[in-house]
Amino acid sequence: MKRIIEGSRAIAETIRACKPGVVSAYPITPQTHIVEELAQMKADGEADFEYVRAESEFAAASIVEGASATGVRVYTATSSQGLLLMTEVIYNIAGMRLPVVLTDANRAVSAPINIWNDCQDVMVVRDAGWLMWFGETNQEVCDLHILAYKVAEQLMLPVMVNLDGYILTHVIEPVEIEDEKKVAKFLPPYNPREKLDVNNPLTMGALATPDYYFEIRKDLHDDVVASLKTMKKEMKKFKEIFGRKLDLVEYYGDKNADTVLVAMGSVIGTMKDAADEINHKSTKTGKHKNKPSSAKASAGKIGILKIVSFRPFPDEEIIKALAKAKNIAVIDKSISLGTEGILATEMRRVLGDKKKIVSYVLGLGGRDITKEMINKVFFNIKKIKDKLVFVSK
């Protein structure tokens, strides 16, 4: 049923439909509404899961880690400093191959204290061994949560679904909320191959000497990379059941544009609006009206590439989508201080020196990203020689 609903409430109802056995979290802005809604559902008798109140984010992560180890489907959510406080457990969850699903309402990291959106929090744990996905809209975010449980429990890998704090968590917009019966057609009950059981003792997360640790970490790396195959398969099944498409990447705009902007998350919506205006103006002026699909025609047009899966990074899909592009502007709401935007670094790894790649850092600490800023990126990339550009207004 499609409803006009706050993003946080939509996520909470989607999680309830996925039927976790244990939910545990600690409130932190802007994630709070998600876990408040889940706690209210439990208090009102509308949900069957156990809701465990934790004294910190570290404790919440530890609680779902333990519950997952016993073979229970689990859920938690956090933001910013809360995710950083979970860091030790985040690594343990991946290393123990537990299919935990976590929502990160992305928020800037202190100091100075800032409660608004950017993506610097999740980038701190990008190498922990989790699958990490980013949603553009609340519909996509809800759909990614359903997919997350299906993929996580098949591969025994944790999944972190990211959405922009406030911009999505607190916005009210139409979302198709799926009921438990329909979700159950896609997502079967969780039945782990092994779990902690007093009648069948098992050790998880034991000491690994140098003779074994190397191979264990390599196995985790290999399985994260290989998860792309399962993700694509399950995205196809998702479309068959729910009628909505999910992709590792999504291209928008002129297919032959020689300038393409790349980003993740809700900023894609602003970028699409800017691209529509740029491409419409290019056609309306009559510059390339007679040959709209030629290289000359597309020189004044723009393409947008949305990255949904940051971990694993979909190299092949990106190379294919950007085959005709000459100038790549990568828009990051995070930065690896002393180097460049983090998504830009990933794009350089994939594309090498074959394309002109410029790292644009925008929106840190919740600074608005406007169409005018996107226009500035598009119209300046061909002239600019710097590899890193900060756009503040």
The span from the CA of 43 to the CA of 53, in Å, is: 12
pLDDT of residue 299: 65
pLDDT tens digits for range 106-124: 999 999 999 999 999 999 9
- The amino acid sitting at 339 is T
Burial class (CB in 10 A: 0-12, 13-18, 19+), 393: exposed
Regions of the chain short of the pLDDT cut 50: 288-295
For residue 93, give the H/E element and its range: helix 87-95
Question: In this structure, how many other beta carbons lie within 10 angstroms of the beta carbon of residue 374?
Answer: 28
Q: Is the Cβ–Cβ distance between 275 and 303 less than 8 Å? A: yes
Pick the CATH number of 2-242 from 3.40.640.10, 3.30.70.270, 3.40.50.970, 3.40.50.620: 3.40.50.970
Domain locations in the chain?
A: 2-242, 249-390
CATH, domain 249-390, list 3.40.50.300, 3.40.50.920, 3.40.50.720, 3.20.20.80: 3.40.50.920
pLDDT of residue 293: 45
Measured distance CA(133)–CA(136) in Å, rounded:
10
Cα distance from N-terminal residue to C-terminal residue, the chain:
40
Inter-axis angle of helices 7-17 and 138-155, nearest 10:
30
In this prediction, residue 289 carries a pLDDT of 42
Q: Residue type for 322, please? A: L
- Residues 160 and 145: their CA atoms lie apart, in Å, by 9
What is the token pair recorded at 269?
């919506």
In this prediction the pTM is: 0.95
- Please, which residues have CB within 8 angstroms of residue 44's CB and are 6 or more apart in sequence? none
Residues 6+ apart with CB under 8 A from 355: 322, 325, 326, 327, 328
Q: Which of 303, 187, 308 is nearest to 247 (CA)?
A: 308
Name which of 102, 165, 147 is nearest 128 in CA terms: 102
Distances (CA, A) of 124 to 96, 110, 177: 20, 13, 31
* Pairing between β-strand 2-6 and β-strand 249-253 as defined by DSSP bridges: unpaired
Measured between alpha carbons, how far is 357 from 258 in angstroms, rounded to an integer?
12
Give yes or no on whether 2-242 and 249-390 have one common fold: yes
Contact 288, 282 (CB under 8 A): yes
pLDDT at 321: 97
d(CA 306, CA 321): 10
Q: pLDDT digit string (tens) for 221-264?
A: 999 999 999 999 999 999 999 999 999 999 999 999 999 999 99
Phi, psi of 210 (to 5 degrees): -55, -20
